[in-house]
Amino acid sequence: MNRTRLPYWHPLVAGVALGLTLLLTFLITGNGLGASGFFTRVAAAAGAWLAPAWTQANAYFGPFVEGGSPLPSWVTWEAIGVLVGALIGSLVSGRFKAMIEGGSRIFSGERLAYAFIGGALVGFGARLARGCTSGLGLSGSATLAVSGFVFLIAFFAAGFAMSYLMRRAWQ
Amino acid sequence: MSMPLYDYGIASGLLTGILFGFVLEGAGFGSPRKLTAQFRLSDWSVFKVMFSAVIVAAAGLWLAQAAGVIGAGGVFVPTLYFWAIAAGGLLIGAGFAIGGYCPGTSLVGLGSGRGDAIAFIVGMVAGTAVFAELFGSLETFYFAAEGPKGQTVSGLLGLPDWLVIAALAIVAAAGWKLGTAMEKKFGGPMTAEQANTPPASNASHPAGSAGGTARA
């Protein structure tokens, strides 16, 4: 594991590459990049498996499962691609590392609990906002959508406030 | 050639997804400490990468429209539902600061070997299920303060797109300069070496050991 580890890209290189990837996605699909839509489909599929009656009757999940499995969809292929792309990138650069990453003042169990709680807030918030940092913040703002900028302002405001409260956990 | 192609096939999803994940990993966005360092102002990579990407993509879309490659209304512009999007943005910002990821970067974290990304993903699925259960009582709020369909900032202000993009570029450049100065003050942005090194005082509690027993 002592092989060379390449540094992260310069933010301008990464930003331009991300912008071109986003532009390519718009030209191919007419939509931008997304992520939370995939987890919505995973949640609906898990519901259909664990509690089929509840899922079918549910006003939000129902439409996702009425035509069979909600998983086969463009956003699913894209999310699988994100995982594969990150895996390729981290492996070829020597940056892949199996670890639980968090601050030094908390234990791994505490870190996992915070990750779960943060994930739950993000999952709920993304359904409320109809998108996440990718779909609204990045893709929405690239189309100059008012909704994208409203999202980003709220996202950064709450991020700064909560980060101040959480500063011990990341030290 | 008339674009967009409106191709929603497997190859289209895999190609764009692989590029997206590869670039985010390269930017360092598989590390929750690097991502959240944006909010501690010691690492401005999230601001820098996101804003430069928005400007490049927005300028590219504007050029493609000006050249007639894509027609007006060719790409999806999300409509504003003010309260739901503002509240959702607040929850995602807070959840990001607590959990260390957003939905896309959690997949990048997982692809970089981060076990905490799995807990975040399980949390997201749970949060989505809670939303679905409460959807009936949230419906009024969900649709409240709906804006004009697909409204853009340029449409709202009555300005041409290129002027809004130029103004964004100026704001981004100023933020970039401020961010670089603050990064220097805090000792520079987090490197790949630092992100892959467990923090010192955790050494006696190796990451990956059963979390519940670490306290005993």
Is ipTM > 0.85 here?
yes
pTM of the model: 0.94
Is there a contact between A118 and B79 if contact means CB atoms under 8 Å apart?
A: no
Nearest-by-CA chain A residue for B46 = A11
Is there a contact between A107 and B110 if contact means CB atoms under 8 Å apart?
A: no
> How many C-beta neighbours within 10 Å does residue A27 have?
20
Residues paired with B152 in a beta bridge: A145
User: Which among A54, A166, A36, A46 has a CA at the least distance from the CA of A114?
Assistant: A166
Interval A94-111 mean pLDDT = 94
Closest CB from A40, A77, A108 relative to B207: A108
Is there a contact between A18 and B196 if contact means CB atoms under 8 Å apart?
A: no
User: Which among A33, A43, A20 has a CA at the least distance from the CA of A132?
Assistant: A33
- In tens, the pLDDT along B70-122 reads 988 899 999 999 999 999 999 999 999 999 999 999 999 999 999 999 999 99
Give A-chain residues touching B173 at CB under 8 angstroms: none
Residues paired with B114 in a beta bridge: A99
**CA-based nearest distance A67→chain B, Å:** 18
pLDDT of res. B207: 46
Give B-chain residues touching A158 at CB under 8 angstroms: 89-94, 97
pLDDT of res. B142: 98
Across all residues in chain A, what is the average pLDDT? 96
Q: What is the DSSP letter of A49?
A: H
Whether the predicted pLDDT of A121 surpasses 70: yes
pLDDT of res. A3: 64
User: Which among A145, A161, A138 has a CA at the least distance from the CA of A18?
Assistant: A138
Pairs of CB atoms within 8 A across A/B: 579
Give A-chain residues touching B27 at CB under 8 angstroms: 8-9, 11, 14-15, 18
pLDDT of res. A123: 98
Give chain B's residues under pLDDT 70.
Answer: 1, 200-216
Amino acid letter, A111: R
Q: Which residue has the higher pLDDT, B204 or A42?
A: A42
Q: Which two tokens stand for residue A127?
A: 């359904």
Interval A95-119 mean pLDDT = 95
Q: Contact A169/B100 with Cβ under 8 angstroms?
A: no
User: What percent of chain A clears pLDDT 70, i.e. is strictly above it?
Assistant: 98
Suggest the residue from B31, B85, B156 to mutate for an interface test with chain A (most A CBs closer than 10 A): B85
Suggest the residue from B2, B41, B62, B96 to mutate for an interface test with chain A (most A CBs closer than 10 A): B96
Closest CB from B3, B57, B94 relative to A158: B94
* C-alpha B180: how far from chain center: 20
Give A-chain residues touching B98 at CB under 8 angstroms: 114, 117-118, 121, 162, 166, 169
pLDDT of res. B1: 61
Least confident among A17-26, A145-154, B1-10, B31-40: B1-10
> How many C-beta neighbours within 10 Å does residue B157 have?
12
Is there a contact between B5 and A27 if contact means CB atoms under 8 Å apart?
A: yes
User: What percent of chain B clears pLDDT 90, i.e. is strictly above it?
Assistant: 89
A49 touches chain B (CB under 8 A): no
A85 touches chain B (CB under 8 A): yes
pLDDT of res. B72: 82
CA A15 to each of CA A168, B105, B213: distance values in angstroms, whole numbers, following the listed order: 30, 15, 41
The radius of gyration of chain B from alpha carbons, rounded to an integer in Å, stands at 21
Is there a contact between B54 and A19 if contact means CB atoms under 8 Å apart?
A: yes
